[in-house]
Amino acid sequence: MIKKFLIEKFGEAVVTMEKPSMFKQILVGSSLCAGLWMVASPAQAQSSAPASPAPSDSAPAEPAPDSAPAAPANREVSESEVEKFASTIKQLRTIQEDAERQASEIFEAEQLSGERFSQILQSQRNPQTQPTPEVSEEEQQQFERVSTQLEELRQSTRQRFDQVFQTEQLPRERFAQILTLAQQDASLRERIQQELNGSEQQQ
What would the DSSP string read from start to end of 43-88? HHHHHS-TTSPPPPTTSPP---GGGSPPPPP-----HHHHHHHHHH
| Cβ burial 190-203 (10 Å sphere, 16+ → b, else e) | ebbbebbeeeeeee
pLDDT tens digits along 92-105: 999 999 999 999 99
Instruction: Give me the pLDDT at residue 203, please.
Output: 65
Does residue 191 lie in a domain region?
Answer: yes
Does residue 139 lie in a domain region?
Answer: yes
- Print the domain residue range for 182: 75-202
Confidence of residue 129 (pLDDT cuts 50, 70, 90): confident
Contact (Cβ atoms closer than 8 angstroms) between residue 103 and residue 112: no
Q: What span, in angstroms and rounded, lies between the C-alpha atoms of 10 and 75?
A: 27
Indicate if the pLDDT at residue 170 is higher than 90. Answer: yes
**How many distinct structural domains can be found in the chain?**
1
Indicate if the pLDDT at residue 111 is higher than 60. Answer: yes
Q: Which residue has the higher pLDDT, 5 or 111?
A: 111
Does residue 132 lie in a domain region?
Answer: yes
Indicate if the pLDDT at residue 91 is higher than 60. Answer: yes
Average pLDDT over residues 183-189: 94
Contact (Cβ atoms closer than 8 angstroms) between residue 46 and residue 125: yes
